């Protein structure tokens, strides 16, 4: 898990500047970026879409029937992240909120509670939005609290205050 917001931001920046290898950008990393966008962006889904497309293009990952960007999976996880952020108490700081959501949504197979395997692997689901065929997604009742995006100077101060391990 993340010790501070600086570590979260480093993961987001590695995604945004494509400096992280695709193999290292795992489910936890996707959730971290989704949490960050859900708390900092007016349209977190669109930001995630653009980011995944850019990341994939940079790394030569082209969308095909079995690989690359998947619209339904992206929308599913963004909805789950936003729904998981909403009920967290105000006493949780941004890092604690992200850690909690990443832990709660860590099971990649959760999607199969909502979608049949046949639907989720279909071309229709990959290239467009498909509603779940097993049970409805949770409602997102309100927009999650906004995280103030720290400046580079703030991140350096946070790193300097964190003891070396």
- Residue 48 neighbours by CB distance under 10 Å: 23
Over residues 151-164, the mean pLDDT reads 57
Domain locations in the chain?
Answer: 5-156
Backbone angles phi, psi at 22, to 5 degrees: -55, -40
d(CA 123, CA 133): 15
Answer yes or no: is pLDDT of 81 > 60. Answer: yes
Over residues 11-23, the mean pLDDT reads 97
Q: Which residues contact 28 (CB under 8 A, 6 or more apart)?
A: 102, 106
In this prediction, residue 153 has a pLDDT band, given cuts at 50, 70 and 90, of very low
* Residue of 115 and 151 predicted with greater confidence: 115
Task: Please state the pTM of the whole predicted model.
Answer: 0.84
Backbone angles phi, psi at 51, to 5 degrees: -65, -45
d(CA 70, CA 123): 9
């Amino acid at each position: 898990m993340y010790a501070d917001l600086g570590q979260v931001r480093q993961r987001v920046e590695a995604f945004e500047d494509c400096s992280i290898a695709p193999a290292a950008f795992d489910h936890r990393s996707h959730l971290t970026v989704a949490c960050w966008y859900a708390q900092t962006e007016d349209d977190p889904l669109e930001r995630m879409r653009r980011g995944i497309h850019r990341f994939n293009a940079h790394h030569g990952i082209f969308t095909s029937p079995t690989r690359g960007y998947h619209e339904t999976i992206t929308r599913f996880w963004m909805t789950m992240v936003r729904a998981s952020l909403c009920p967290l108490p105000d006493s949780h700081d941004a890092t604690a909120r992200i850690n909690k959501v990443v832990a709660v949504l860590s099971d990649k197979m959760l999607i199969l509670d909502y979608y049949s395997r046949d639907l989720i692997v279909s071309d229709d689901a990959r290239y467009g939005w498909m509603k779940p065929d097993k049970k409805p997604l949770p409602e997102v009742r309100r927009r999650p609290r906004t995280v103030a995006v720290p400046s580079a100077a703030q991140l350096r101060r946070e790193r300097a205050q964190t003891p070396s391990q």
